[in-house]
Amino acid sequence: MTRPRVVHVVVAGELGGAERMLVDLASRPALTGADHVVALMTPSEALAALFQGAGLSVHDRGRVRENPAAYLWRSLGPTDAAWLAGVLRTERATVAHLHTFASHVVGTRAARSAGVPVVRTEHSTRVYTDPSCWPFSRWSLRRTRLAVAISRHVRDVALGRAPWISRLTVIHNGVDTSRFAPRTRPPPSPDVAAGGVGDRPLRFSLVARLEPRKGVDLALEALARVPGATLDIVGDGEDRSALEAQARSLGERVRFHGQLADVRDVHAACDVVLCSSRQEGLGIAVLEGMAMGKPVVAFPVGGVPEIVDHDVTGWLASSVASADALAVSMQRADAERARHRAMGEAARARVVAEFSIEAMCRSYAEVYAEVGATE
């Protein structure tokens, strides 16, 4: 049997969980049993630098435009599909692995032209719930050999919209538990060690794209109701200016770090990881914080309840997209500091047991062997 050769197709403008997952997957050929190449179309220098900095082999189309007209031309026009088909042929690809909505049509067209089977990873439910996305994604999905959902939630939404999907499996995104590991912090003050709330403000960290789906506005609204607590926000996006304006009333309690190549220092300095997403396929940033031994406060949305056990590894709010409910859980985290260490240890144990990068890569190895191995 010939080793599978996988070309990952990424058409995207931002750096997020899907792109970081791809780096983790493609940089471990020994675990996946396959060779990996990235075919990239992006307006973002940072996204190109992410893949190149990870040592991946990248076919870069160059900086491209990202707007509805550019999407339609890229998807339906002749040039980008022809370029991508050329990459697939040059690399002797046996699998075209599509990761983003904007890659679905152009990637599928190119794969069909080159005679290469398609694997799609469904990183969110957007293509199934957004009527402007679904017609394009449905065309690709009908021509996909095997689809992977990153959570049971994403799988259930996909099957509800497209019960005719012939092959759909769940592979949770994984975390490098060696890289994301607990770090020693200064010893707590005596009253904290004894179980009191202490005099040090509770510190939350939140890693997300600054866009409406991630609900950072709700996090800021809730933070205002947790006296003295602080919030470190990592990420960038269309909502940053509005969120910074919203946060001004909280003064130095909120710090915007922008996009960081390495989020570990921020997680290490915090007490609790916060996830305020209105929609969430799984929550890779939550898994990273848990792997570092941090408890979580989050909404019970999407795939989050699959990774956060309420009152064991964190606190799930009583309702979704409610700043009031999120504030109550944040207040509990503040009041129950004596539980943080045990909850953080349980959080890391959960990630190591069920959400390791090794488990993710082994599962994709089975997919690639089934779809892309050749005689």
pLDDT at residue number 18? 87
253 has which bridge partners? Answer: none
- At 186, the pLDDT band (50, 70, 90 cuts) reads low
Please check the confidence at residue 265 and state whether its pLDDT lies above 90.
yes
254 within 8 A of 226, measured Cβ to Cβ? no
101 within 8 A of 126, measured Cβ to Cβ? yes
Measured CA to CA in angstroms, residue 323 lies from 129, 151, 222, 318, 328 at distances of 24, 25, 5, 11, 9
Can you tell me the distance from the alpha carbon of 38 to that of 174, in angstroms, rounded to the nearest whole number?
A: 19
Sequence length of the chain is: 375
Query: 100-127, pLDDT tens digit by residue?
Result: 999 999 999 999 999 999 999 999 999 9
Q: What's the token pair of residue 209?
A: 């794209």
Q: What's the token pair of residue 64?
A: 């491209």
The mean of the pLDDT values for the chain is 93
40 has which bridge partners? Answer: 10, 60
pLDDT at residue number 13? 79
Q: What percent of the chain has pLDDT over 90?
A: 85
Going by C-beta distance under 8 Å and a sequence separation of 6 or more, which residues neighbour residue 368? 4, 6, 32, 33, 34, 95, 119
Going by C-beta distance under 8 Å and a sequence separation of 6 or more, which residues neighbour residue 87? 7, 37, 39, 59, 93, 110
Closest CA to 40 of 19, 14, 27, 59: 59
pLDDT at residue number 358? 95
Please check the confidence at residue 189 and state whether its pLDDT lies above 70.
no
What is the distance between the terminal CA atoms of the chain, rounded to a whole angstrom? 5
Q: What phi-psi label fits residue 4: left (phi over 0), alpha (psi between -120 and 50 degrees) or beta?
A: beta
Can you tell me the distance from the alpha carbon of 72 to that of 79, in angstroms, rounded to the nearest whole number?
A: 12
Domain boundaries, the chain: 5-174+356-372, 190-354
pLDDT at residue number 197? 42
Please check the confidence at residue 190 and state whether its pLDDT lies above 60.
no
Q: Taking the CA atoms of the chain, what radius of gyration do you get in angstroms?
A: 21
> Mean pLDDT throughout 27-37?
95
Query: 1-15, pLDDT tens digit by residue?
Result: 689 999 999 998 777
Query: 278-326, pLDDT tens digit by residue?
Result: 999 998 999 999 999 999 999 999 999 999 999 999 999 999 999 999 9
H or E element that contains 61:
strand 58-63
pLDDT at residue number 23? 93
Predicted structure pTM score: 0.87
3-class state of residue 268 by DSSP: helix
pLDDT at residue number 20? 87
pLDDT at residue number 195? 39
Chain centroid, CA 236 distance in Å: 14
pLDDT at residue number 200? 85
72 within 8 A of 43, measured Cβ to Cβ? no
Q: What's the token pair of residue 45?
A: 């220098």
> Mean pLDDT throughout 230-245?
95
Per DSSP, 250 falls in state G
- At 67, the pLDDT band (50, 70, 90 cuts) reads confident
- At 344, the pLDDT band (50, 70, 90 cuts) reads very high
The reply to whether CATH 3.40.50.2300 applies to domain 190-354 is no
13 within 8 A of 44, measured Cβ to Cβ? yes
Per DSSP, 257 falls in state E
Q: What's the token pair of residue 329?
A: 């859980």
Q: What's the token pair of residue 152?
A: 């049971």
pLDDT at residue number 14? 78
CATH number assigned to the domain covering 5-174+356-372: 3.40.50.2000
Please check the confidence at residue 196 and state whether its pLDDT lies above 70.
no
